[in-house]
Structure 1
Amino acid sequence: MRFLVTGTAGFIGFHLARRLLQAGHEVVGVDGLTDYYDVALKRARLALLEAMPGFSAHAFMLEEPGAFTALMAGTRPEVVVHLAAQAGVRYSLQHPEAYVSGNVVGTFQVLEGCRSHTVRHLLFASTSSAYGGNRAAPFRETDRAVWPLTIYAASKLAGEAMAHSYAHLWQIPTTAFRFFTVYGPWGRPDMALFLFTRKILAGEPIDVYDHGRAVRDFTYIDDLVESIARLVDIPPPPPGADPVSAADTLSPVAPYRMVNIGGGRPVSVSAMIDALEDALGCRAVRHLRDLPPGDVAQTEASTALLRDLVGYVPQTPIEAGIPAFVAWYREHYRTDP
Structure 2
Amino acid sequence: MKALIGLLLLVFGHGVSSVLHSLQYFYTASSGLPTFPEFVVVGMVDGVQMVYDDNNTQRVVLKQAWMEQVIRDDPSYLERSNGLSLGSQQAFKDNIRTLKKRFNQKGGAHVYQEMYGCEWDDEDGSTDGYDHFGYDGEDFIELDLKYMTWVAPVQEAVTTKRKWDQNRGYNEQQKHYYTKQCVDWLKKYLSYGKSTLQRTERPRVSLLQRSPSSPVVCHATGFYPDRVVVFWRRDGQELHEQVDPGEVLPNHDGTFQVSVDLNLTAVPQEDWGRYECVVQLKGIEDISTPLDPALIRTNWGKTGVGGDGGGEHMSHPLHLTSSQPLPGVPGHC
Common fold: TM-score over 0.5: no
Higher strand share: 2
- Please identify the structure whose Cα radius of gyration is greater: 2
Could you state the TM-score of these two structures normalised by the residue count of structure 2?
0.24
Higher helix share: 1
